Amino acid sequence: MMESKGSHKWTKNILNELDINPKIVVCAKKGYVSASSILGASHNELEEKLGLSSFHIKNFIDAVTSHVLPKKTSAWDLSQTGEGDPKHITLGCQNLDNFLGGGVPAQGITEMTGQSGSGKTQIALQLSLCAQLPPVAGGLGKGVAYICTESQFPTARLQQMVKHFKAQHSKGPASYTDGIFVHHIPDMDSLVDCVRYQLPCLLSQRPIGLVVLDSVASPFRAEESNMENKNLLYTLGYQLHQLAATYHIAIVAINQVTSVIGNNNLYGHSGNVVPTLGLTWANLVTTRLMIGRTDSHVQAEQTEGSRQVKKSSSKTIVEYNVRELEVIFCPWLGKKSCPFVVTSKGIEDVE
């Protein structure tokens, strides 16, 4: 099978292309010569196998990352070109927006991970609406490319959310659904091809500001894990970063979780689950958000489509499970969490 240029970038020997200490190059020749093998190993593994100090390993990883990922742009450059605005996409919830420093980042790859039913797709749908709001209202004023890999796109749920969203936001487009371009992907090869060929074509023809991948895990978990699949995952992440930098778009990738033994793990999350796809994918993510259910509940007046209805003497009350959005890592935010609920309207703050 012919290897693509994007995949070759991750598998070829890059040691002689790096501006690093010659000592690192000599030690790395023991088996860590490609971006795939280097970034796919943990910091501790590289220390042990190469016999280098933690300082040298950090320099090694930083050099490889800078070599294969898009070049960084300074804050000064952004201020001069005007490409730095907007920096966030509102979630339509003041508390969540304030918690995230303005909303979901409008640059890089933002991963939303969590157990099934935690509310990941609900947030993605609401973001797909908010992104179409004008910048003055916290949006991008652009459309959305929504890539589905697990199941059919939740059209009925989106229509339900649009009804309430339009009532709350008068500055949005005439039709929110017309601004969401949905594509269904059956397997990982098709996903990589979509991001490499079809998505750039759409971005060059339509004003797209947000790309949602729901989910990144499904195509790769369905296949047997091997080096070829790992290289495809690297290629996917690289292409997404390239698209984000070239077209100035936000990337939101939904991920699943897997169970682990122990209370702490390498990904910064305290608990018994970690995001799937391991270090291979983690090294490509800019911001990681964990979404989960809590044991708490709040009550509110009934709205159309609500469940768990409780009747009192004066009014109908609905009980909502409180969810939690936790920052695992982000360039400008520390680890913290914020509660929210999922209602018939969409996602809402907990007062």
* Residues 144-157: tens digit of each pLDDT: 999 999 888 999 99
Asked whether the predicted pLDDT for residue 125 surpasses 70, the reply is: yes
Q: Are 347 and 92 in contact (CB under 8 A)?
A: yes
Asked whether the predicted pLDDT for residue 297 surpasses 50, the reply is: yes
Asked whether the predicted pLDDT for residue 31 surpasses 80, the reply is: yes
The mean per-residue pLDDT over the stretch 68-90 comes to 63
Asked whether the predicted pLDDT for residue 78 surpasses 60, the reply is: no
pLDDT number for residue 309 = 39
Q: How many CB atoms lie within 10 A of CB 159?
A: 11
The mean per-residue pLDDT over the stretch 289-302 comes to 89
* Residues 6-17: tens digit of each pLDDT: 456 677 888 888
pLDDT number for residue 304 = 52
The bridge status of strand 143-148 relative to strand 208-214 is: parallel
Amino acid at 68: V
Q: Are 150 and 214 in contact (CB under 8 A)?
A: yes
Q: How confident is the model at residue 292 (pLDDT cuts 50, 70, 90)?
A: very high
Q: How confident is the model at residue 264 (pLDDT cuts 50, 70, 90)?
A: low
Lowest pLDDT segment from 113-117, 163-167, 183-187: 183-187
Asked whether the predicted pLDDT for residue 83 surpasses 70, the reply is: no
Asked whether the predicted pLDDT for residue 51 surpasses 60, the reply is: yes
Q: How confident is the model at residue 4 (pLDDT cuts 50, 70, 90)?
A: very low
pLDDT number for residue 310 = 46
Over its C-alpha atoms, the chain yields an Rg (Å, rounded) of 21
* Residues 305-324: tens digit of each pLDDT: 444 434 444 567 889 999 99
